[in-house]
Chains A and B, each alone.
Chain A
């Protein structure tokens, strides 16, 4: 069956750094809180103009949103609730 860990409230952000300041903000953030990088595969590989898809725990969402707004970095929320997305992947109609 599906995994026993739950991801309620966990979000996946797409960050759009367009300068070195933004890149450093992401790298600094990765040192402060637990970020799970989806793409690229780690903070070291973040560069400007490369979309960064990153999983953020529920308790860190407000901190991340605040940082993004202060830095002026463009972003979007790709996945609002990771737990629901995990459940939705099993959408085979024959299941």
Chain B
């Protein structure tokens, strides 16, 4: 049962996996659990589809959490979002309208093997856990492994590096599974959101080039408005803009790839904080962080719904 589940603690993959199963069982008209593939170590990649069953395919938003293993606040947010969707459907007009008219695909943990490794072996692990030939160094940075200017800038060709881009585009089985799912559902996916930490940023394409995206002005307006919505709750300041010029150039990122695939509303969140805790954000900050992030995500979701 999800009754005793704590959204204000960091949860192990085992708990998250059981929670996802219970969510789908307890909310059959609103939540559907599917598997989009397996990880390198053979774990099931669980995807939750949130949305009122209508019998036909609706336009959708895809959101993933936990691309980088050590960014624990990210999966915590995906769990929070699902909980909010289920509990506020029927009472919150914005969420009700969203789930009546669109579906939201939530990938609670993208890099499951890495997440498990941070729980059991090395809290600061970042990459996947795939083996690399010719070296004892393990793992690839999944956010350097997408087909978006792959390995041209801000990524490393060295397997021991934390930003290793992989042996080829989509070499990581997890990246290929996500890319295949999005490609397969390209016609209905209208927005792509990816949740990271930390730095308090709301970024959009491009990161692999300093060129501005074709929809730069609109994306900037959305990002600024979403950041303002987030700020309104606890006064947390976010910086928004295209990745390459707002922070630094980095190729192979999922948001750039999704945008180039034709998903216009493509955003990367970098959640709290600005470095005091970094990847070790205390559990006492999960609630306020998720509450304020909900405002920004709901702003974007509403915008997409209205402009679809």
A7 to B189, CA, bound (A): 42
Interface size on A, residues (CB 8 A): 35
Give the contacting residue for A90; candidates B10, B122, B198; CB below 8 A.
Answer: B10
Q: Do B156 and A44 touch across chains, with their CB atoms under 8 A apart? A: yes
Q: Do A86 and B282 touch across chains, with their CB atoms under 8 A apart? A: no
Main secondary structure of the interface of A (DSSP, over half): loop
Q: Do A91 and B118 touch across chains, with their CB atoms under 8 A apart? A: no
> Taking CB as reference atom, which chain A residue is nearest B286?
A92
Give the contacting residue for A5; candidates B123, B156, B199, B250; CB below 8 A.
Answer: B123
Q: Mark A46-65, 1 if CB is under 8 A from B, else 0.
A: 01001101010000000000
Given the known A-B contacts A51-B275, A78-B275, are A45 and B282 also in contact in the complex, defined by CB atoms under 8 Å? no
Q: Do A50 and B282 touch across chains, with their CB atoms under 8 A apart? A: no
A14 to B162, CA, bound (A): 18
A54 to chain B, nearest CB (A): 11
A82 to B277, CA, bound (A): 10
A7 to B278, CA, bound (A): 15
Determine whether A93 belongs to the interface, using a CB cutoff of 8 Å to chain B.
yes
Q: Do A92 and B8 touch across chains, with their CB atoms under 8 A apart? A: yes
B273 to chain A, nearest CB (A): 11
Q: Do B124 and A36 touch across chains, with their CB atoms under 8 A apart? A: yes
Q: Do A4 and B154 touch across chains, with their CB atoms under 8 A apart? A: no
B276 to chain A, nearest CB (A): 7
Listed residue (A44, A50, A78, A94) with the most chain B CB atoms within 10 angstroms of its CB = A44
Q: Across the interface, which residues of B come within 8 angstroms of A85, CB to CB?
A: 277, 280
18 extra A-B contacts, CB within 8 A, seeds A39-B278, A45-B154:
A4-B120, A5-B121, A5-B123, A36-B162, A39-B199, A41-B162, A41-B250, A45-B248, A79-B280, A82-B124, A82-B280, A88-B280, A89-B72, A89-B280, A90-B9, A91-B284, A94-B8, A95-B9
Q: What 10 A-B pairs have minimum CB-CB distances, sorted nearest first? A: A92-B283, A3-B123, A45-B248, A42-B163, A91-B282, A89-B280, A5-B122, A85-B280, A92-B9, A91-B284
What are 27 contact pairs spanning A and B, CB under 8 A? A3-B118, A5-B123, A7-B123, A37-B162, A38-B275, A38-B279, A39-B199, A41-B141, A41-B163, A41-B250, A42-B156, A42-B161, A44-B154, A44-B156, A45-B250, A53-B275, A78-B278, A82-B280, A88-B282, A89-B72, A89-B281, A89-B282, A90-B283, A92-B9, A92-B284, A94-B9, A95-B9
